[in-house]
Amino acid sequence: MVTASRLQIDSTEKPGAIKGRGTAVNPANRFERERVEAFDDGWDLPEEEGAKPQTVLIRDATRSIIARNDSPDIAFSQSVNPYRGCEHGCIYCFARPSHAYLGFSAGLDFETKIVFKPEAARLLEKELSSARYKPGVIVLGSNTDPYQPVERTLSLTRGVLEVLERFGNPVGIVTKSAGVLRDADILSRMAARNLAKVYISITTLDPALARAMEPRAAAPARRLAAITGLVEAGIPVGVMASPIIPGVNDAELETILEAAAKAGATSAHTTLVRLPYELSSLFSDWLEQHLPERAAHVLSLIRQSRGGKLNDPNFHTRFAGSGPYAEMLHQRFTRAAKQLGLDGDSTRLDLTQFRVPGAQPILEQMSLF
């Protein structure tokens, strides 16, 4: 195994930085013609008391809830996202640019303006009851985390799980929050019927690096504890060692997998960091703040793994990257996963149990998540 050495994170609070937020930068929405730029008027007045941005919840009046994709890179075709935007504030989050479609910025807006779908459970029940619905695994957490902090009070994700359990529709969850343990009761019942699996995302085991990259997500130790807690409840768990960022957390790849295996994970996946649209400048700014001595090197390694660019949107390479460095990471992951018994996934999520309450069961083939 490769032994990871901890990075020296510059944790001193920088001018303009916001404690507990992934970024203080709020780049202009790429779809807007007009832009507003801050400027220094020379008065050097002290920051107003209470000026730190607070999280704002925005009601989403959407009329549909199941999102569908036909990407050859993704193992599922259906997902539900109760929230848009994410208070975890992960600086590397590929979903940040999607906030522009709502008229917001991919920067600070993404982690402070959280759009929630109060009718998520009702809409899901309606769509599952439709004669047009084809049973399939529904994934929670494909875009933003279903267990971000606001879920503690809104419980939208729990409402979705209650509907899925009632219909016998399998679910896969991706989260970096220990809050998933709250719903272990539902998930354990579903898992007993081969209807549920959870993936816990772990990017680093270094608390200082995690605090800088993912300021409001669960600490690494809590994520490992969540794996153990879910396993003890009879729920199959995998680990997402993602995203791997060259020069930042790539040295930890094997140790993350080893820790997850010891905690009880039985499978693993990984992806290479993606920096679409505004995310490239946001991440570059973060590097200059927290890892200034290696910022240029990190960006160079990403370019080497992305055909000379900071992002590759193409199918088949966008998650894995290309070139010698990306291939080395793939080989390391494959070797470690095999040694730790994380290279297989025997969990079969069963589609044959789906039924609209009160109707006859609809038989379908088995599916894997």
Residues 18, 26 contacting (CB under 8 angstroms): no
pLDDT at 367 over 60: no
Q: Is residue 110 part of a domain?
A: no
pLDDT-based confidence at residue 49 (cuts at 50, 70, 90): very low
Euclidean distance between the first and the last CA atom of the chain, given in angstroms as a whole number: 28
In this prediction, residues 134-159 reach a mean pLDDT of 97
The C-alpha angle with vertex 145 and arms to 159 and 153, in degrees rounded to 5, equals: 45
pLDDT-based confidence at residue 33 (cuts at 50, 70, 90): low
Q: Is residue 106 part of a domain?
A: no
Model pLDDT for residues 240-284, shown as the tens digit of each residue: 999 999 999 999 999 999 999 999 999 999 999 999 999 999 999
pLDDT of residue 345: 78
Q: Is residue 329 part of a domain?
A: yes
Residues 237, 199 contacting (CB under 8 angstroms): yes
Helix boundaries (H) for the chain: 108-112, 120-129, 151-154, 156-167, 184-192, 207-213, 220-232, 253-263, 279-290, 295-304, 324-339
Confidence (pTM): 0.90
Q: Is residue 112 part of a domain?
A: no
pLDDT at 219 over 60: yes
Cis peptide before 207 (omega within 30 of 0): no
pLDDT of residue 52: 81
pLDDT of residue 363: 47
Residue 195 structural domain: 66-82+119-355+362-368
Q: Is residue 265 part of a domain?
A: yes
Mean pLDDT (the chain) is 91
Scanning the structure block, which residue is given the tokens 């390391």?
332
Angle, helices 220-232/184-192, rounded to nearest 10 degrees:
50
pLDDT of residue 369: 52
In this prediction, residues 333-344 reach a mean pLDDT of 96
pLDDT at 147 over 80: yes
As given in the structure block, the two tokens for residue 278 are 């505004």
Candidate from 14-23, 86-95, 142-151, 323-332 with smallest mean pLDDT? 14-23
pLDDT-based confidence at residue 203 (cuts at 50, 70, 90): very high
Residues 214, 90 contacting (CB under 8 angstroms): yes
The total number of structural domains in the chain stands at 1
Q: Is residue 100 part of a domain?
A: no
Q: Is residue 148 part of a domain?
A: yes
pLDDT-based confidence at residue 224 (cuts at 50, 70, 90): very high
Provide the CATH number for the domain around residue 232: 3.80.30.30
Q: Is residue 88 part of a domain?
A: no
H or E stretch covering 69: none
In whole angstroms, what is the distance from residue 188 CA to residue 236 CA? 9
